[in-house]
Amino acid sequence: MTDFRTTVGNVELVSLTDGQGADPPTGVFPESSEDVWRTEYPELLDAEGMIHPRYGCLAVRSGGKLIIVDTGMQAPDGALLDDMQAKGVDRDEVNLVVTTHLHPDHVGWNLTGGQPTFPNARYLVPQSDWDYWTQPSVVENSPHIQNQALPLEKLNVLDLMGDDYRITDELTTIATPGHTPGHISIVVASAGHRGFILGDVAHSPAQAHYTDWNPGFDLDGPTARQTRHTIIDRLESDGSVVATGHFPDPGFGKFVRGESGRRVWQVL
Ligand SMILES: [Zn+2]
């Protein structure tokens, strides 16, 4: 088990987890085959052949600020707040909550009982994802937007991020559309070191090699696939430390070329 904490230059990243799902891999990735999962990725399968996408979040310390990236699912057994406490992250000290995209497993703990879970934080949401999810026809069918996103505006804790938004001097957003229209990732650059907070550009280590595989819930599959190729190629060539949301705990690693010439996810 690798450490839940890592650094990129002067930036500290703490992996947090709100629980995990249990899904048949070919259900998540309709273009994959059971055979490939069984023979090439047995370590990702449980005894029943299921994969367990983690509901991952991050605490980031940068430029004197404490930042939470994504807030999990808040399922009945959601463990984010306990996990934060166990790892020494005090929710009262959080300055910013950054949302990579407005899916239910990324905004779950924005509010608790109708009040901000992080009482001293501003909540940052990508403008273009906000514009998509707050269309009346979309809101109507999205209880998580009604419950965990729209109230942020009324409570006056919401700030919308334009493109290439500078969160701190060391953290800048980058548009990575496809999974959702306004999906963002975060580039970490500090003291000559490079890191990358991936969001849902990829959901499984298997996509290091099978980069074409789209999860069924990408809203725009062709764009998501193109984004995934562009970003993972870039991360492989620049050697960034990558923080993932849905890869197995704690989700830190690098995309590297293995001896066979096959690209793999190398856990830190
Ligand atoms: Zn997700």
pLDDT of residue 2: 58
Q: How far apart are CA 2 and CA 16, in angstroms?
A: 13
Range of the domain at 218: 5-267
- Tell me the percentage of the chain whose pLDDT exceeds 70: 99
Whether the predicted pLDDT of 227 surpasses 90 = yes
Ligand 1 centroid to 246 CA: how many Å? Answer: 7
Query: What does the DSSP 8-state code read for residue 156?
Result: T
Q: How far apart are CA 24 and CA 223, in angstroms?
A: 24
Other CB atoms within 10 A of residue 189 CB: 17
Ligand 1 centroid to 199 CA: how many Å? Answer: 7
The pLDDT of 115-133, averaged and rounded, is: 98
Is the link from the previous residue into 250 a cis peptide, with omega within 30 of 0? yes
Ligand 1 centroid to 103 CA: how many Å? Answer: 6
Ligand 1 centroid to 50 CA: how many Å? Answer: 17
Ligand 1 centroid to 259 CA: how many Å? Answer: 31
Ligand 1 centroid to 243 CA: how many Å? Answer: 13
Token digits of residue 232: 């993972």
CB 79 within 8 A of CB 18: yes
Whether the predicted pLDDT of 1 surpasses 50 = no
CATH code (residue 28): 3.60.15.10
Ligand 1 centroid to 105 CA: how many Å? Answer: 5
Ligand 1 centroid to 25 CA: how many Å? Answer: 15
Task: Output the pTM of the full model.
Answer: 0.97
Ligand 1 centroid to 157 CA: how many Å? Answer: 23
Ligand 1 centroid to 171 CA: how many Å? Answer: 21
Ligand 1 centroid to 59 CA: how many Å? Answer: 17
Q: Who's near 94: CB < 8 A, 6+ residues apart?
A: 59, 66, 67, 68, 118, 120, 121
Ligand 1 centroid to 70 CA: how many Å? Answer: 9
Whether the predicted pLDDT of 77 surpasses 80 = yes
Ligand 1 centroid to 106 CA: how many Å? Answer: 6
Task: Count up the domains in the chain and report the number.
Answer: 1
Q: pLDDT of 12-36, one tens digit each?
A: 999 999 999 999 999 999 999 999 9
Residue labelled with tokens 């990243």: 13
